[in-house]
Each structure stands twice: as structure tokens, then as C-alpha cells.
Structure 1
Amino acid sequence: MENTNNASKFILLGLSQDQELQQVCFVLFLLFYVVIILGNLLIIITIKLSERLNSPMYFFLRYLSFVDICYSSVTAPKLIADFLVERKTISFVGCIAQLFAVHFFGCTEIFLLMVMAYDRYIAICKPLHYMTIMNKHVCSWMVVASWAGAFVHSMVQTLLTTQLPFCGPNEIDHYFCDVHPLLKLACTDTYIVNVIVVDNSGMISLSCLVVLVVSYVVILVSLKTCSSKGRLKALSICASHITVVILFFGPCIFIYMRPSITFSEDKMVTVFYTISTPMLNPLIYTLRNEVKNAMKKLWSRELLSVKSCNDAACK
């Protein structure tokens, strides 16, 4: 790849050039990243060990938490480390690898959110056939299809970018390598690539959002025939998922449903869906009573087990 490009590395301008602000951001984003890792690990471990959280919904939630950890880990560690150095560089190969990983895990999350919406639709609109339709085999294939679809999407974005010549300057006005900032550095006409990127990333985000909105409209309409207790339970189940969808899809559509035009808000919007949303997801889902009760039961059992072991050791 380096033989076809004059740029063997890129300089990332980061979120800010202010040294004092970068020190504050280092502490803040390090805290955010720790919360992302611990919060999503807590979700994964609780679902894995709890006998009560064995429904398809929590099967998908476990994978969503895993994707959140991977997704934030693509950009957050590099961002945090760059706050401590004056010259923020990344190799060409490292930049392309980061581009691939960002779109791979980001698109996987989009497809998983769609799968989770379908799961909620079946659970609420066809409850008698739920376990037959959403059996373990089907759920596993849905997860595999999400990974495969994201891989194809990411390969398209990556291959398009690597074919472009980069003659300089090599400064990326961002804190990680993404398609639009890289297209601005290419020393050739990128109109066609721009159109393909918008059709690929933007239309995936928009079309998936439309499908999600339609599915939840159908769910809300079907709730009219339910009892008040059943309606409240169904709404509580859907509320957390709708919140996550809004937080994730809104910024994605803002970034990718337009040509490579830079706005001053782009960096902060990107921070929101690459770091803030993975951090908020565990909080949103742990507000559900089933998850909270499972966590209390699981961790109280673990504490009692540790206490019993300590008492036995003392005797």
C-alpha cells in the first residue's frame, strides 16, 4: 500500500491543540473508557451467569455489549494516549486498520440493534410463537449475519480508500482515521468515491433507522389490544432499546448522510457515538428491573460465597 502512496504516516490533529485542555481531556476520557469496559463487562458476566436472563433479548444484549467494548477500543486508547504527546502520528497501515475496525464494529452494532428490534416485535406481536421463531439456532445465525454484513460493508469502505493516492499534506483534522477526513487528503477527484461512501454508510444508517421506526410503530399500534399491565411491561422493554437507537443513529446519520464537508461540530458528534453511546448503553439497559434483580442476586450470591470461604479459612 505504501508503494502507491507518498504518505507512509498521517498526523492526527486530535480534539484540541490546547495543552491544558488536553490534560483535562486525558483524565475525562480515561474515566469514560474505564466505565465502558467495566459497565459492558458487568452486563456480559451477569447475562452469562444468570439463569433468569436466558431469553433471546439478553443473548443479543450480551453481543451488543461485547461490540461496544471492541468499538470504543478502536479509537479511545489512541485518543487517550495522544492527549499526552504533542505530535500525534499514525502509520498508513495503522490508519487503514483503524478505518476498517471502526466501520466493522459500528456496522455490526447497527445490525444487532435491528435484530434486537425484530426480537421485540416477535415477542410482543406474536408471543405464542416467540420461542419457536426465535430459537437458539435462529438467534445464532442472526448474530453471524450481522458480523458478515458488517465485514462486507467495512471491506468496501477500506478498499475504496486504499485505492486513492495521498500526495500530501498528511494532516488529518480528526482524532482517528475515518473515510471523510481521508478523502479530503486524496490528491485526485473523489466525487465518485464520495457518492459510494454516502450510499454505503449513510444509506445503511438511514434505511436501518427507517426499519426500526416502522417496527416500533407496529409494536405500539399492537399494544392497544393488550391489558394495561401488559402494555406497561412492553413499553418498558422497548424504551431502553429505543433510547439506544436514537443515541446511536442520530450522530451516524449526521456524519455519513452528506458529502465530505467538514463542520466544527463533527469531532464532538463523533465522540458521542464512538465513546459516549458505548458508555451509556450499560446504564440504559441496567435500569430494567430484570437486569437489576439478576445483578443483585448474582453478586450477593458471589459475596456470600466469598464470605463463606473466608469463614472456612479462618476456622
Structure 2
Amino acid sequence: MENYTSIDDFHLLPYFLHSKDKSIIFLALLLTYIFGLVWNCLIIIVIYMDPRLHVPLYLFLSNLSLVDICYIMVTIPKLLHMLVTRNISVSRSLCLTQLGFFILVASTEIALLTSMAFDRYVAICKPLHYHCIMNRRRCLLILVLSWVSAAVNATLITSITSITPWSSLRTIHHFFCDLKALAKISSNGLGFQLVLYIESLIIGVLAFAIILMSYVKIFKIVLLITFSDGQRKAFSTCSSHLMVLFMFYGVGVCVYIRPLTQNTEELDQIFSLFYILVTPTLNPLIYSLSNKEVHGALLKIMTRCTRKSSVAF
């Protein structure tokens, strides 16, 4: 069958599409993709199966793993398909759908990371009132608000993008329909860039300010603790979250805060690939390896499965 390309189609152009090492790149992406999906699914299963982990922090963590799964599935399958078939065209509707889902999961992750920072603040600074403040009903309300507000934000940005006039050049120098990459082919690039910066300012910077204030108060309390074991325990409860924050915001700043210049496409794609594949793959590893409770629950379930399989044979 022949491939027909509509005049409304966009053309994705990853910088490594015509690389001589395309098969190696495909294999590396595929293995990382599978590993990220499996490990995030495992975290969700472990938290669901272990009653000791049915607390606010791990409720947020299981949702974070769900978001990371969505991150990977929204973008990577299309990239793998392009590497195999070299079909770089994507319809306008599919491009907007991909953009919408990407903004949805990105906005939800920002809300979840902010909620987890607040949870750590309450646990360390107000330990006697923790179960009253972070009760199950309130946690579920926070999760619902996180997803709903992210959906509203994604709908708003996608709607603005859908009515944006495009230039005659429909080639997107990226491996998915990213907002910054779309801004470069917009006829109203300056206005689109303004939307991008307002989006980053309201969503990212405001959330980061809340996180920063939470950790400033946490560190003040921790420094007042006189015994070293107490300080060590307090820092250990925050270390995983801090590592995820540094990766998420560090790469996010590199991708979206830098100006729209023509000589940064390759760098944007490298940072974006780290942002949507490597970071979601590393997140569950960070939480499972440095968190004793998750680590213990994971070992317990693996031991139980091993015993069942040995009995079956």
C-alpha cells in the first residue's frame, strides 16, 4: 500500500534518524523503554500489595510511577516506529493529541512532586499532626486536583496550539510534537514563545517556589535536631525526592527556559530524550534502592514469588 501524506501533516525529524548507528540507537531505546515500563509497573504492584506502604507518601509515589509510564508511552513508540519504517509524517490531529497528553503528564508530575514535598514538610515539621493533616480523604483530593488541573492546563494549551497559524515549513526538528519545537514552525513564533514562557512561569516556577519553601522549613527543623540519628533519618526520608526533583527541574530548565534559537535543535532533543525516557526510568530505581521500606517490600514480594515458582516445579 502507498503512503499518502496530507498537506496538513507535520514531519518529525530526529537528528539521529539517518545515523549509521540507527540499529544500535533503536535497540538502546527499546531496552530502556521496556525496562522503564516494567520497573514502574513493579513499583505500583509492590505498593498495592504491601499494606505497610498504604500511606500518603507511597500513594503519591504510585501515581508518580503511573505518570512515568505515560511519559514513556506517549512519545517513545512513535520514535521507535520512525526508526524502523522511516515514516516521519504525523497528522495534525495526532500531533495535537500527543502534545496534549505530554502536557497532561508533565503538569501532573509537577503537581505530584509538589505534593510529595508538602507531605515531607508535614511529616518532619508537624509529626504529631501528620495523620490528621495528611488523611486518606485529603490525599485522594490532592491527587484528583492534580490530575484535573493538569487536564485543564493540557486542554487550554492544546486548544491554543490548534488555532495557531503555521508556516509553510511543516518539519518539526524533534522526535515528538513538543511545544517548543512547534513554536519554531509557527507563523506567530513570538506569541507562541510567550505562551511557552507564561506556561513555564505559572506551572513550573510557582510549584518550585512551594517546594523550595517546604524544604527550607524542613532543613531548619532538621538542623535543630541534636542527635545525629535523627538528622540522618530525616535526611533519608527526603533524599530520594530531592534527587528526582534535581533531575526533573534540571533537565526541564535546560529544555524549556532557554530561548528559541535555531542552533539548539540537537541539544533540545538530547535533553528531551533524557527528560521523557531516562528520568522516568531512573525514578523508580532511586525510590526502590534508597528507600528501605520500598526495598524491603520489593525483596519480600520477589522472595514470595520465587518460593511459589520453586514449589510449582
Q: TM-score range by the shorter chain?
A: over 0.9
SS at match of 1:185: coil
Runs of 5+ consecutive residues of structure 2 not aligned to the other structure: 1-5
What residue number does 2:142 align with?
Answer: 142
Are 2:211 and 1:212 aligned? yes
* Pairs within 5 Å for 1:183-222: 183-187=183-187, 189-222=188-221
Tell me the distance in 2 between the aligned counterparts of 1:162 and 1:268: 26
What residue number does 1:159 align with?
Answer: 159
What residue number does 2:3 align with?
Answer: none
SS at match of 1:15: coil
Distance verdict in 2 for CA 1:228–1:34, change over 3 Å: same
How far 1:125 moved relative to its partner? Answer: 0.5
SS at match of 2:30: helix
How far 1:258 moved relative to its partner? Answer: 4.3
Letter in 2 for 1:105: V
User: Contact 1:202 / 1:257 at 8 angstroms: preserved in 2?
Assistant: no
Tell me the distance in 1 between the aligned counterparts of 2:19 and 2:189: 35
What residue number does 2:293 align with?
Answer: 290
Tell me the distance in 2 between the aligned counterparts of 1:243 and 1:15: 29
User: Contact 2:72 / 2:280 at 8 angstroms: preserved in 1?
Assistant: yes
How far 1:7 moved relative to its partner? Answer: 4.2
Residue-by-residue CA offset, 1:284-304 (whole Å, 9 max, x unaligned): 001111111111112212332
**Alignment root-mean-square deviation, CA:** 1.6
What residue number does 2:98 align with?
Answer: 98
Letter in 2 for 1:284: I
* Pairs within 5 Å for 1:169-184: 169-184=169-184
How far 1:202 moved relative to its partner? Answer: 4.1
What residue number does 1:28 align with?
Answer: 28
What residue number does 1:225 align with?
Answer: 224
* Pairs within 5 Å for 1:49-64: 49-64=49-64
Are 2:98 and 1:124 aligned? no
SS at match of 2:90: strand
Tell me the distance in 2 between the aligned counterparts of 1:17 and 1:133: 51
Residue-by-residue CA offset, 1:255-306 (whole Å, 9 max, x unaligned): 2224433414111011111111000001100111111111111221233234
SS at match of 2:184: helix
Residue-by-residue CA offset, 1:142-193 (whole Å, 9 max, x unaligned): 0011111111221221111111122422111100001222122223x33233
User: Contact 1:157 / 1:197 at 8 angstroms: preserved in 2?
Assistant: no
Tell me the distance in 1 between the aligned counterparts of 2:211 and 2:298: 29
How far 1:16 moved relative to its partner? Answer: 1.3
Distance verdict in 2 for CA 1:260–1:7, change over 3 Å: farther
User: Contact 2:10 / 2:90 at 8 angstroms: preserved in 1?
Assistant: yes
SS at match of 1:83: helix
SS at match of 2:20: helix
Letter in 1 for 2:304: R
What residue number does 1:302 align with?
Answer: 305
What residue number does 1:3 align with?
Answer: none
Q: Which moved more, 1:192-201 or 1:289-298?
A: 192-201
In the alignment of these two chains, the number of paired residues is 304
User: Contact 1:203 / 1:257 at 8 angstroms: preserved in 2?
Assistant: no
Tell me the distance in 1 between the aligned counterparts of 2:126 and 2:7: 56
What residue number does 2:276 align with?
Answer: 274
- Tell me the TM-score normalised to structure 2 length: 0.92
Runs of 5+ consecutive residues of structure 1 not aligned to the other structure: 1-5
Residue-by-residue CA offset, 1:194-249 (whole Å, 9 max, x unaligned): 21221113442122222212211210110123332121111011011000001011
Letter in 2 for 1:82: M
Letter in 1 for 2:278: S
Distance verdict in 2 for CA 1:176–1:9, change over 3 Å: same
Tell me the distance in 1 between the aligned counterparts of 2:86 and 2:19: 8
What residue number does 1:66 align with?
Answer: 66
Tell me the distance in 2 between the aligned counterparts of 1:101 and 1:204: 16
